[in-house]
Amino acid sequence: MTEPSYLRDTVLPQLPPPLVDRGIIKWIRENLFSGVLNTFLTLAGLAAVWWLLAASLPWFLHGVWDANSLGECRSIIAAEFGEGAQGACWAMLRERWHQFIFGFYPPEAYWRVGLAFVLLFVALAPVLFTEVPRLLLWGTVIYPALGYWLLWGGSIWGPVVAMAGFGLLALVFKLLRPLLGVPVAGGLGFVAAVLWWLFAQGPVAGLLAGVMPVGLVPVESDRFGGFLLSIVIGVTSIAASLPLGILLALGRRSDMFLVKTLSVAFIEFIRGVPLITMLFTASLLLQYFLPPGTSFDLILRVDILVTIFAAAYLAEVVRGGMAALPRGQYEAADALGLDYWSAERLIILPQALKISIPSIVSTFISLFKDTTLVSFVGLLDPLKGISTIVRADMAWKGVYWEPYLFVGAVFFVLCFSMSRYSMYLERKLKTDHK
């Protein structure tokens, strides 16, 4: 045997793939120019983006922040970028931003709105994130009264005594549940709370205010506007419509004829009516139903009807989640000997709600955006109400895109956060079979 003239003793190092088959070029070839059709679509897409940017970018780049009127904006743009140049007049926002955010809320009380907004997140944290200490849930419980007091002002005892009504409800419920069961105990608790609000609320609050006057300067509802109004209506109706919607969904699936019929009638009636109709009902019709002279706050009226509207939609969303559960889950709950409320609370609802998270959050997002419709009943929503006011000023008449873009951007931030949270929640609760 002769020695081979050459023996490789090490493996050759791998060569990098050819230039066209690696890195960004490969990605582009595979994803953007893989065929005739794909190439064409890529070029068309690029052309569309180019066209959009070419049309809008100069307008954004020419934006003016420092001017006192639209005319001044125009002359600054003309001076800097030549005659006929178009540009955004953001100066309008610099002068009027506070109206878009707070409406006509008194400026010396803006801190109250800010504080209420920050506390809102403190109150929401234990609900949204299970890592937060459970003790903070008590903060969530008292937040409605606290937020109301901060925003509307007045004596602190009104909201406190109103919250005591809920405390009474909880107490009656807790004492009577072992004897009478969930529905009757809940009903009696509700009756007790209503009696409290009707007859004890005024005298007790008055007495306490007399003994220990603590209060903020009251702010009338007609000072509310802009995003303050949208968020107040959005948050309260979101918070109130979820429990109401779950109750309606349970009612619709109930075996009891009356409960089922009433729930179905309520849901179908409300879902069959446009939101604008509900708003007009709130602003116009209720005035006739109520005794003359009672002036029932318009924001409250609108809030109640928006809540009812959202609850009807949520009821159907939650019912869809329940319908998606296999029958075995219900049977297993029965086999464990759980009663109806325990079964719903421990087995059915946690799963049904998890399934419905995307739809529930979609409903919330669209509800929040729908709060701009209150401009039709003369409330000052940020999109139309405040924009109209700003444009009515001779200095800013003719400003068109700027308010819309600003309001749209703020709405996007808020709605996008809600959407990201729902995806986080879905991932966290994901227990399905991989």
Residue ranges binding another protein (CB under 8 A):
70-71, 74, 95-96, 99, 103-104, 220, 222-223, 280, 283-284, 287-288, 292-293, 295, 375-378, 380, 385, 387-394, 397-398, 400
Residue pair 408/384 in contact by the 8 Å Cβ criterion: no
**Other Cβ atoms closer than 10 A to 4:** 7
Choice between 194 and 394, CB closer to another protein:
394
Instruction: Give the H/E segment covering residue 155.
Output: strand 154-155
Choice between 74 and 354, CB closer to another protein:
74
Choice between 252 and 301, CB closer to another protein:
301
Instruction: Give the H/E segment covering residue 241.
Output: helix 226-252
- Give the C-alpha separation, 253 to 60, whole Å: 54
Choice between 95 and 426, CB closer to another protein:
95
Q: How far is the CB of 389 from another protein (least distance, A)?
A: 4
Q: How far is the CB of 74 from another protein (least distance, A)?
A: 5
Q: How far is the CB of 114 from another protein (least distance, A)?
A: 18
Q: How far is the CB of 303 from another protein (least distance, A)?
A: 17
- Give the C-alpha separation, 226 to 354, whole Å: 33
One-letter amino acid of 29: R
DSSP 60-83: HHT-B-S-SSHHHHHHHHHHHH-T
Q: How far is the CB of 287 from another protein (least distance, A)?
A: 4
- Give the C-alpha separation, 231 to 369, whole Å: 10
Q: How far is the CB of 88 from another protein (least distance, A)?
A: 14
- Give the C-alpha separation, 359 to 163, whole Å: 31
- Give the C-alpha separation, 149 to 216, whole Å: 8
Pull the structure tokens for residue 188: 């009696």
